[in-house]
Amino acid sequence: MDETTVHGTVGNHLSYADLTPDLGLKMAAGLDAESIISAVTFSGLRGRGGAGFPTGMKWKFARAESRKPKYIVCNADEGEPGTFKDRLVLTDYFDLVCQGMTIAGKAADSEDGIIYLRAEYSFMRPHLEQILKRRRQEGLLGKNILGNKGFDFDIVIRMGMGAYICGEETALLESLEGHRGEARNRFPFPVQAGYKGLPTVINNVETFAWVPAILEKGPAWFADMGTKKSPGARLFSVSGDCARPGIYEYPFGTPLSRVLQDAGADNPKAVQVGGASGTCVAADGFERTLAFEDLSTGGSIIIFGQNRDMFAIAENFQGFFAEEACGQCVPCRIGNVRLHEAIERMRKNGLSADMERELRQLAATMQTASKCGLGQSSPNAFLSILDSFAGELPQHGNDVKPHSAEARP
């Protein structure tokens, strides 16, 4: 591992770090598929890629599909600005990801694993290929895994092409098939018709990496951490204006203030939780908790100090979305450009009440009518910055109205 600092919940290591090599996989080899799915379901594991879909349920749906071959895809696109925890898992704990994917293969009755690796992570490919090779030699991948007849599973690495949209699971599938990265319609869901139209489980890197720990330490160990709706712990990529940026592990339900304290953030002005598509939290929200039912996040926490210009941040994020919108649907393609232009203007000229009403309507249209999560979430940062920091904008003529609940659509 490189310069990234790792901070576990207890001491200085992650829950992952003290597992017995491949014990989770060995245990799974002795279980039938239903028992594996029950254990993952009981643990309450929810996807770590952002949406938090229950992993056991996803695997159960895939198992119920009769068409074959089925695929297990690891989403290693890690494109959300401010997120770098999957990078650590891939470089330092890749065996756990392989175990998790192999166990998912047994659960869903699939023999084919694919890792969709972010283009910018191509530097780690030789290291990952070496581990895959070693695992084949040790009988942990390939035919008759660990000597169990019929337990067959192997993993290939496919490179991403450098587009944010390709982290969205259906655009990822398009990209894997050699097409332009654009979100698909649902239904059907990928578990029904995914890669090449066949049943496909797609999970985040970290989601797979938790599975061996759940089997080795027991689903109850995992379920006892966190909150009722968000069991377990998760990794956070912490960056920005703080003394100790790095990867942190916390149980769900941890207050944001605890993270800020551990990271050495001295009197921050705001924190962006969930990356560019997440929510900007002002100081009065620092006691809110990190959990799907409160501050939901794919694991990114960006800290902003008192000297930061919040609308410069909003403009930066909106510019990113304007660049990265795939262009397929109008609300996202046009909306992000219009919002970006408007933020640029309001930083110079302020914001009238009429303009604010229009922009909030535009944002609501994007959230409701965009085809995929990109456009649905791209106005979040701007809206939350507007809610908390409108007073930082220049005064707008005699029609100044920083913001009001009434103006919301």
Ligand X SMILES: Cc1cc2nc3c(=O)[nH]c(=O)nc-3n(C[C@H](O)[C@H](O)[C@H](O)COP(=O)(O)O)c2cc1C
Q: Does 61 bind ligand X (CB under 6 A)?
A: no
- Nearest Cα residue to 361 out of 383, 346, 343, 381: 383
Would you call 6 exposed, middle or buried from its count of C-beta atoms within 10 A (0-12, 13-18, 19+)?
A: middle
Q: Is 206 helix (H, G, I), strand (E, B) or coil?
A: helix
Binding piece for ligand X, criterion CB under 6 A, among 16-24, 49-57, 64-72, 233-241: 49-57
Binding mask 318-357 for ligand X (x = CB under 6 A): ----------------------------------------
Q: Is 50 helix (H, G, I), strand (E, B) or coil?
A: coil
- Minimum CB distance to ligand X smaller for 380 or for 388: 380
Contacting ligand X within 192-221 (CB under 6 A): 202-204, 207
Sheet with 112-117, side-by-side order of all strands: 154-159, 112-117, 71-76, 200-204
Rounded Cα gap, residues 27 and 24, in angstroms: 5
Would you call 12 exposed, middle or buried from its count of C-beta atoms within 10 A (0-12, 13-18, 19+)?
A: exposed
Rounded Cα gap, residues 54 and 45, in angstroms: 6
Distance in Å, CB of 349 to ligand X, minimum: 31
Contacting ligand X within 358-377 (CB under 6 A): 372-374
- Minimum CB distance to ligand X smaller for 47 or for 350: 47
Binding piece for ligand X, criterion CB under 6 A, among 75-83, 142-150, 264-272, 303-311: 75-83
- The two tokens of residue 321 are 């979305």
Whether the upstream peptide bond of residue 69 has omega within 30° of 0, thus cis, is: yes
- Nearest Cα residue to 118 out of 85, 155, 149: 85
- Minimum CB distance to ligand X smaller for 164 or for 389: 164
The correct pick among 44, 49, 199, 251 for binding ligand X (CB under 6 A) is 49
- Nearest Cα residue to 212 out of 27, 37, 72: 27
Rounded Cα gap, residues 65 and 58, in angstroms: 11
The correct pick among 22, 77, 111, 216 for binding ligand X (CB under 6 A) is 77
- Minimum CB distance to ligand X smaller for 227 or for 378: 378
Q: Does 29 bind ligand X (CB under 6 A)?
A: no
- Minimum CB distance to ligand X smaller for 110 or for 203: 203
Binding piece for ligand X, criterion CB under 6 A, among 71-79, 102-110, 225-233, 352-360: 71-79
Phi, psi of 198 (to 5 degrees): -110, 160
| Per-position DSSP letters for 260-275, written without gaps between them | HHHTT--S-SEEEESS
Contacting ligand X within 149-168 (CB under 6 A): 164-165, 167-168
The correct pick among 1, 51, 64, 156 for binding ligand X (CB under 6 A) is 51
Rounded Cα gap, residues 407 and 211, in angstroms: 46
The correct pick among 65, 78, 111, 249 for binding ligand X (CB under 6 A) is 78
Rounded Cα gap, residues 303 and 269, in angstroms: 8
Distance in Å, CB of 256 to ligand X, minimum: 21
**How many amino acids of this chain bind ligand X (CB under 6 A)?**
23
Q: How far is CA 273 from CA 162, 208, 244, 281, in A?
A: 23, 23, 17, 7
Distance in Å, CB of 75 to ligand X, minimum: 4
- Minimum CB distance to ligand X smaller for 50 or for 379: 50
Distance in Å, CB of 299 to ligand X, minimum: 9
- Minimum CB distance to ligand X smaller for 71 or for 311: 71
Rounded Cα gap, residues 191 and 154, in angstroms: 19
Distance in Å, CB of 377 to ligand X, minimum: 7
- Minimum CB distance to ligand X smaller for 15 or for 380: 380
Distance in Å, CB of 47 to ligand X, minimum: 2
Q: At how many degrees (to 10) do helices 94-108 and 33-43 cross?
A: 120
- Minimum CB distance to ligand X smaller for 194 or for 268: 194
For ligand X, the binding residues (CB under 6 A) are 47-51, 53, 75, 77-80, 164-165, 167-169, 202-204, 207, 372-374
